[in-house]
């Protein structure tokens, strides 16, 4: 399959939505904030209005769900390798690390914003992912006074990760650790540390669910949207009995609409017993991929997702993803900057060297319970956890004079 590298825009200017401050500059110099904001495309919700949707019967539900499963999975399955970068903008309305700090009243409402660049590489066949999050700007604003908070405690945002079926490796290049409990007897100087953990612990990283960028296609950690639709199809076809089919038919409403010559589908799951719902909207112009998902309590949705796509080498790729958690007062935006599809990715992309480990950096393997030192591009065993140091400990482990 052909491949090409796509860069969206010749420059990007980051704006703090809290303070209006210019956080990053184009390479050719300053520009006005108003002009910079105009250059950032805001998402447009042009989905049909409520009165344009027509609910369909069971037979049409099955046909629509079959279309969604076929189209979405076929698009996703075209990806063999994927690499590129996203610009990430994150806002939160509570900033708990600020409360109780000197000069900041505990009752202060804080609006924090963080910007970073996420570079990634995915090899689908080997199921390996690489992610590098490079720290950008941080800003904090007092929501009571709308004034920036100075001398705030900064958060470490930069990290590099590798996720494979065997392990998850996390490395924070700007952070050094000392007096590690499992190596306390070794009396090591402060060191940069890469941690090796079971793959399921990747959700605990700074990047959370974005360690594997393929999640942007569906944003569900357990299964993809089309896999869920496939399970609905099995029930509608009677696999689990008439009673299950009838209950699902009442809870899952599927509607269709036509707007500007384009087909739209909506799947709405509603459970009246708990008063919660989930609604997904798909459109034909982007291969029937999801463009919006809303969920939460019926009267006050708490989780909103929006997608935009770019067609690159016959594959619809998320070009913008917006995640809003009202209950956490959090807003996260990811905008695609570069994209390369189905080109070979060297195995070295998923190695310790790709993480940026330097000579004598530490590797704490929590799976093996063994600590290693990174020497000449390879991990060299230091000791098992809790093991006392050998009498002939190399001099390189001593602090530099």
Looking at per-residue pLDDT, the higher value among 12 and 371 belongs to 371
Highest mean pLDDT among 71-80, 148-157, 269-278, 385-394: 71-80
Residue 358: per-residue pLDDT: 94
Q: Render 111-125 in DSSP notation, one character per residue.
A: EEEEEEEEEEEEETT
Q: What's the rounded mean pLDDT across residues 303-307?
A: 92
CATH of the domain at 178: 2.50.20.10
Distance between CA atoms of residues 213 and 219, nearest Å: 9
Q: What's the rounded mean pLDDT across residues 387-391?
A: 69
Looking at per-residue pLDDT, the higher value among 142 and 278 belongs to 278
Residue 355: per-residue pLDDT: 94
Q: Interior CA angle at 364 toward 389 and 355, to 5°?
A: 130
> Is 360 part of any domain?
yes
pLDDT tens track for 218-244: 765 567 889 999 999 999 999 999 999
> Is 111 part of any domain?
yes
Residue 219: per-residue pLDDT: 67
**3-state secondary structure at position 350:** helix
Closest CA to 108 of 156, 149, 150, 153: 149
> Is 136 part of any domain?
yes
Looking at per-residue pLDDT, the higher value among 317 and 98 belongs to 317
**3-state secondary structure at position 186:** helix
Residue 85 has what DSSP assignment? E
pTM of the full structure: 0.80
Residue 98: per-residue pLDDT: 47
Confidence of residue 23 (pLDDT cuts 50, 70, 90): very low
Residue 44: per-residue pLDDT: 66
- Full domain range(s) for residue 360: 6-44+52-397
Mean pLDDT value across the chain? 81
> Is 1 part of any domain?
no
- Window from 57-61, 185-189, 233-237 with minimum mean pLDDT: 185-189
Confidence of residue 397 (pLDDT cuts 50, 70, 90): very low
Query: Total structural domains in the chain?
Result: 1
Looking at per-residue pLDDT, the higher value among 330 and 259 belongs to 259
Q: What's the rounded mean pLDDT across residues 113-120?
A: 89
β-bridge partners, 266: 255, 281
- Window from 19-23, 181-185, 324-328 with minimum mean pLDDT: 19-23
Can you list the pairs that 17-20 forms with residues at least 24 positions away whose Cβ atoms lie under 8 Å? 17/91, 17/113, 18/91, 18/111, 18/112, 18/113, 18/139, 18/140, 18/141, 19/139, 19/141, 19/148
> Is 66 part of any domain?
yes
Strands 128-142 and 81-92: unpaired
Looking at per-residue pLDDT, the higher value among 151 and 383 belongs to 383
Residue 266 Cα distances to 35, 97, 106, 208, 366, angstroms? 36, 40, 44, 28, 45
> Is 317 part of any domain?
yes
């Amino acid at each position: 399959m052909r491949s090409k590298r796509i860069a969206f825009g010749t420059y990007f200017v980051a704006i703090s939505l809290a303070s209006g401050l210019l956080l990053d500059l184009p390479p050719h110099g300053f520009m006005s904030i108003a002009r910079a904001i105009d250059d950032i495309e805001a998402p447009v919700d042009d989905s049909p209005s409520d009165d344009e949707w027509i609910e369909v019967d069971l037979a049409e539900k099955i046909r629509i769900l079959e279309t969604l499963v076929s189209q979405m999975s076929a698009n996703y399955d075209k990806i063999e390798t994927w690499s590129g970068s996203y610009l990430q903008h994150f806002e939160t309305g509570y900033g708990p690390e600020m409360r109780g700090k000197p000069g900041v009243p505990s009752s202060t409402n804080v609006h924090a914003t963080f910007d970073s660049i996420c570079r990634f590489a995915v090899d689908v066949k080997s199921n390996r992912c690489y992610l590098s999050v490079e720290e950008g700007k941080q800003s904090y604003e007092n929501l009571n006074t709308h004034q920036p908070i100075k001398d705030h405690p900064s958060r470490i945002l930069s990290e590099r990760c590798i996720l494979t079926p065997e392990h998850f490796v996390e490395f924070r290049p700007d952070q050094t650790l000392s007096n590690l409990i499992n190596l306390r007897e070794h009396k090591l100087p402060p060191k940069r540390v890469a941690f090796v953990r079971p793959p399921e612990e990747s959700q605990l990283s700074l990047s959370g669910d974005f360690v594997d960028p393929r999640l942007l296609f569906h944003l569900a950690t357990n299964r993809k949207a089309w896999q869920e639709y496939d399970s609905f199809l099995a029930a509608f076809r009677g696999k689990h009995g008439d009673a299950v089919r009838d209950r699902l038919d009442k809870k899952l409403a599927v509607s269709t609409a036509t707007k500007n010559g384009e087909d739209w589908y909506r799947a709405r799951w509603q459970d009246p017993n708990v008063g919660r719902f989930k609604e997904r909207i798909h459109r034909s112009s982007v291969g029937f991929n999801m463009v919006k998902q809303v969920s939460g309590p019926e009267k006050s949705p708490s989780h909103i997702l929006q997608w935009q796509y770019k067609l690159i080498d016959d594959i619809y790729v998320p070009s913008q993803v917006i995640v809003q958690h009202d209950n956490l007062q959090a807003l996260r935006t990811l905008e695609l900057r570069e994209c390369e599809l189905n080109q070979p990715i060297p195995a070295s992309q998923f190695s310790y060297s790709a993480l940026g480990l330097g000579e004598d950096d530490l590797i704490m393997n929590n799976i093996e319970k063994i600590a290693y030192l990174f020497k000449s591009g390879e991990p060299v065993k230091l000791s098992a956890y809790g093991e006392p140091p050998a009498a002939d400990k190399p001099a390189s482990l001593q602090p530099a004079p």
